[in-house]
Structure 1
C-alpha cells in the first residue's frame, strides 16, 4: 500500500488527521471495484503515512460514517459498506406504522385477488367461501381476526405466485401483531361493525369465483380503502393512536 509523499509536511501538527483522511480517500478511490478488500492495520497505516495512530483512527471514523469502510471487531477494516442484514419481524413492526401497512396492502392485495380470479382452483374458491362464512359467524374480535387473516392468505395462495405469496406473508406477519389488531378492531367498532367487512369479503370471493379479475381487484381495493379510511378517522379523533399499545406489545383487553 503506497501513499503519496508530496504532502508530507501536512503530517505535522494539527493537520495530521486531515492529511490521513485525504490519503485514505485517495487510496480507496484507487481501488475501484475492490469492495470488501481489507485495509492494513492502524499501526501499518500510521507508519506508511508518517502520522500518529490517533490521526488514522479519526480518519477511519470519518470514512466509516460516510459508509466508505466497515470496521469489524476482531476482523479488521474493509472497503465498502457492511452487507445488508435480513430485516426481522420485530424490526419491521417497530419501524412500520398503520398507514405504511395499508399502502403496501393496497398495492399488493388487489393484484393477488385478480390473479386468484384467473388461477384459483375450485377447491381454493370453496375454501374462500367457507372462510368468509366463518368470519360472519365469529363470536368475538379475536376469532374474526383469525379467519380474516386466513381468508386473505387463501386469496394470496390462490394467486399461484410464490414470490407474491412470500411478500404477502411478510406484510401479514406485521399486521397480525397484537397492536395492529387492536387498532383495526377499534376502527371497525367491534363485532357490531363487522357487517360491512363481511359483505366486502363476500363480494371479493364472488368476483374471484366469477373469474372476474378486474372485479376482484376492485372489490379488494374497496375493502382495503374502507379499512384505511377508518384508521385515518380513528387517528384524528380524541381516542387517538397514542392510546394503542406500542408495536410488539400485547394489546390490553
Structure 2
C-alpha cells in the first residue's frame, strides 16, 4: 500500500473514523492503537492523513504517544455527543451555513460561561496549530479549523448540541464539496478568519458570552459570504 492511496478521503474523514474507534474503547484506557499503517489500511486513507488526525487527538488529550512503543488511548472526552439517526442525509453547503449560524453562536455563548481552564488552554493550542499550517495546505487547515470549532462545541457542555454540531460538520466536510471550499478560501480571508478565531478565544477566556456569540456570528457570516461568491464564480461547476 502506498503512503497516500488514491482516495477522496482526507485528514478530516480520518479524524472522524478515529473518533469512532476511540469511542469504542472508552472503558479501556491505555489500550494500544493499531499502527499508522494498519489504521491507514483499515480506513482507506493515507498515512499522512492518519498522522495529522492523530495530532489533533493528541492535542485534545484523547490519545498519548510513547516513542518506540506506540499510540495509546488517553482520557475520555469531557462530553460525548449523542448519536442522531434521523437527520437528513442530503444537504448543501449553504444549508449547512444556515444551520451553523443558528447553532454555533449559542455554543460560543455557553462556552464562555462553562469552559474549563483546560478547555480554554486547548483552544489556545488549536489556535497556534492553525497559525503553523503551511500556506496552501487546505487539508491541514480544514483539519485544525474543524477541531477548533468542535472544541468550542465541547466546551459548551451540552451533549445534544454537540451531537448536532458533529452531524452538521460531517455534512460540511463532504469530499464532493472540496472544490467549492477551496474556491472560497483565499489568503486574505484566512487572515480575517485568524482574527475572528482570536477574538472568539479571548471572549471565551474572559467569560464574555454575548461578545463570544457575536464574534462567532460575524465569523460564520463571513464564511457564508465567501461560499456564496465561490458558487457564483463562472468556472465553478455545479456540485
Q: How would you bin the TM-score normalised by the shorter chain?
A: 0.5 to 0.7
The residue number in structure 2 matching 1:146 is: 143
Aligned residue among 85, 102, 106 for 1:107? 102
Alignment pair present for 1:163 and 2:160: yes
Distance 1:241 1:221 in 2: 28
Q: How far did residue 180 of structure 1 move?
A: 3.1
Cα RMSD, aligned residues only: 1.9
Alignment pair present for 1:204 and 2:169: no
Alignment pair present for 1:127 and 2:119: no
Equivalent position SS for 2:99? helix
CA distances 1:32-69 after superposition (whole Å, capped 9, x unpaired): xxxxxxxxxxxxxxxxxxxxxxxxxxxxxxxxxxxxxx
Contact 2:180/2:236 (<8 A) preserved: no
Alignment pair present for 1:195 and 2:208: no
The residue number in structure 2 matching 1:184 is: 181
Q: How far did residue 87 of structure 1 move?
A: 4.5
Contact 1:234/1:241 (<8 A) preserved: no
Q: How far did residue 97 of structure 1 move?
A: 1.0
Distance 1:218 1:193 in 2: 19
Q: Name which structure has the greater RCO, CA cutoff 8 Å, separation 6+.
A: 2
Distance 2:206 2:178 in 1: 31
Distance 1:192 1:213 in 2: 28
CA distances 1:198-222 after superposition (whole Å, capped 9, x unpaired): 1111111111111000110000001
Between the two proteins, the alignment pairs up a number of residues equal to: 154
The residue number in structure 2 matching 1:34 is: none
Contact 2:127/2:197 (<8 A) preserved: yes
Runs of 5+ consecutive residues of structure 2 not aligned to the other structure: 1-83
Equivalent position SS for 1:114? helix
Runs of 5+ consecutive residues of structure 1 not aligned to the other structure: 1-84, 247-253
Which protein is bigger by CA-based radius of gyration? Answer: 1
Distance 1:183 1:214 in 2: 32
Contact 1:207/1:215 (<8 A) preserved: yes
Q: How far did residue 234 of structure 1 move?
A: 1.5
Aligned residue among 216, 229, 233 for 1:220? 216
Contact 1:175/1:181 (<8 A) preserved: no
The normalised TM-score by structure 2 is 0.61
Aligned residue among 230, 237, 241 for 2:226? 230
Equivalent position SS for 1:194? helix
